């Protein structure tokens, strides 16, 4: 009941997550990740909603064979996979019983290749998504140096992760806030804004 009226609402239970604003002090660059975001594996019988690739594919008006999404047939082979590429903070879901500092440390190593002591991760704040899910994310900040880079990163290929590590200078991240040509989530923009307000 809500104000005396019965209301119905769809919801999706989503894992809690961590994300990190990562700053390389050796070269004054922020470290981000670039990856393909279908939302989930594209399967014949399952259309992932709330997914960057599908949303953007639909808006191209590409219409022929195969899968139907809300009455629109989409020929996925003719849609550029680039539509699903996003620029994001290094982030990971909380699916282990480690503390959040350990989880974010592990994620930074897997995705970006930096080995940073877990106590070096500063907790910034946490927030929730609103709408279909109410999932919580905790944001961290960490500094790294070139000496801490021990692998290429790139994510866990066996879990279907193929991640490019992207470095951007402070002038470049300032521009990114306004650059709508780059597909990026609000959390990335918040992380950059927090960094510019508190660390520059």
What is the biggest distance separating any 2 CA atoms in the chain, rounded to whole angstroms? 61
- Residue 105 near residue 52, CB atoms below 8 Å: no
Nearer to ligand UPG, 39 or 62 (CB): 39
- Residue 30 near residue 168, CB atoms below 8 Å: yes
Nearer to ligand UPG, 72 or 125 (CB): 125
Query: Applying CB under 6 A, which of residues 42, 69, 79, 93 lies at the interface with ligand UPG?
Result: 93
Read out DSSP for 145-163?
A: -GGGB-S-----GGGT---
Query: Applying CB under 5 A, which of residues 91, 104, 112, 173 lies at the interface with Mg ion?
Result: 91
Query: Applying CB under 6 A, which of residues 143, 161, 164, 167 lies at the interface with ligand UPG?
Result: 161
Selection from Mg ion, ligand UPG, none that 188 binds (CB < 5 to 8 A by kind) is: ligand UPG
3-state secondary structure of 97: coil
20 interacts with Mg ion by CB under 5 A: no
Strand partners, 141: 21, 122
Selection from ligand UPG, Mg ion, none that 17 binds (CB < 5 to 8 A by kind) is: ligand UPG
Q: What angle do CA 144, 150, 151 make, to 5 degrees?
A: 115
Nearer to ligand UPG, 38 or 144 (CB): 38
Query: Applying CB under 6 A, which of residues 21, 88, 138, 141 lies at the interface with ligand UPG?
Result: 88
Selection from ligand UPG, Mg ion, none that 166 binds (CB < 5 to 8 A by kind) is: none
Of 159, 144, 160, whose CA–CA distance to 109 is shortest? 144
**Which pairing describes strands 122-128 and 136-144: parallel, antiparallel, or unpaired?**
antiparallel
Name the residues that contact Mg ion, by CB under 5 A: 91-92
Name the residues that contact ligand UPG, by CB under 6 A: 17, 19, 88-89, 91-93, 137, 159-161, 185, 187-188
């Amino acid at each position: 009941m809500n104000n005396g009226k019965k209301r119905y609402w769809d919801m999706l239970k989503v894992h809690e997550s961590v994300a990190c604003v990562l700053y390389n002090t050796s070269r004054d660059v922020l470290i981000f990740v670039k990856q393909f975001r279908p939302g989930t594996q594209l399967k014949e019988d399952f259309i992932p909603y709330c997914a960057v690739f599908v949303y953007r594919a639909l808006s191209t008006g590409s219409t022929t064979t195969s899968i139907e999404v809300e009455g629109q047939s989409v020929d996925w082979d003719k849609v550029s996979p680039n539509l699903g590429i996003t620029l994001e903070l290094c982030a990971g879901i909380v699916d282990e019983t480690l503390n959040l500092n350990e989880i974010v440390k592990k994620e930074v190593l897997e995705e970006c290749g930096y080995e940073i002591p877990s106590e070096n991760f500063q907790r910034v704040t946490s927030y929730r998504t609103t709408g279909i899910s109410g999932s919580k994310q905790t944001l961290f900040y960490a500094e790294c140096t070139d000496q801490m880079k021990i692998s290429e990163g790139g994510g866990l290929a066996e879990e279907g992760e193929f991640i490019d590590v992207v470095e951007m200078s402070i002038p470049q991240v300032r521009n990114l806030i306004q650059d709508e040509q780059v597909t990026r989530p609000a959390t990335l923009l918040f992380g950059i804004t927090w960094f510019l307000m508190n660390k520059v």
